Amino acid sequence: MILELAKWGAMIGLQDASRKIFADDFDAAGANALDAEIQTVLVWNETIGTLVKNHLLDRDLVYDWLWVAGAWDRVAPAALEAREQAGVPELFANFEELAKGQK
């Protein structure tokens, strides 16, 4: 499953999205969840978080593989704003919970 997730990430442009959110000039406070790169990071990591939550992926393996906490820190303002605007407290919650466990 890890290889399929990695392939899916490549297909949706996760590498480019990651480069954008970790760039020195990235403005986390000004990011919007509907920006293509931000949305890519949010959706992909929410999927990973959902798989871990439902015991379909091993949490420790994911923590060895991905820096979930770092990605969440960069896109959290956009995710939380989208959550508030949508009025859906569960929006990106699995990503957030997975990130909290890595700190």
Structure tokens belonging to residue 33: 């969840």
For position 43, what pLDDT does the model report?
Answer: 98
- The pTM for the full model equals 0.95
For position 101, what pLDDT does the model report?
Answer: 97
- Report pLDDT digits (tens) over 84-100: 999 999 999 999 999 99
Alpha helices for 54-92 (secondary structure H):
59-65, 68-86
For position 103, what pLDDT does the model report?
Answer: 74
For position 68, what pLDDT does the model report?
Answer: 98
Residue 52 has pLDDT above 90, yes or no: yes
Alpha-carbon distance 33 to 31, whole Å? 7
Looking at 2-102, which runs of residues are DSSP E strands?
none
- Report pLDDT digits (tens) over 15-37: 999 999 999 999 999 999 999 99
Q: What is the mean pLDDT of the chain?
A: 97
Residue partners of 16: CB distance under 8 A and separation at least 6: 37
Q: Crossing angle of helices 93-102/68-86, nearest 10°?
A: 150
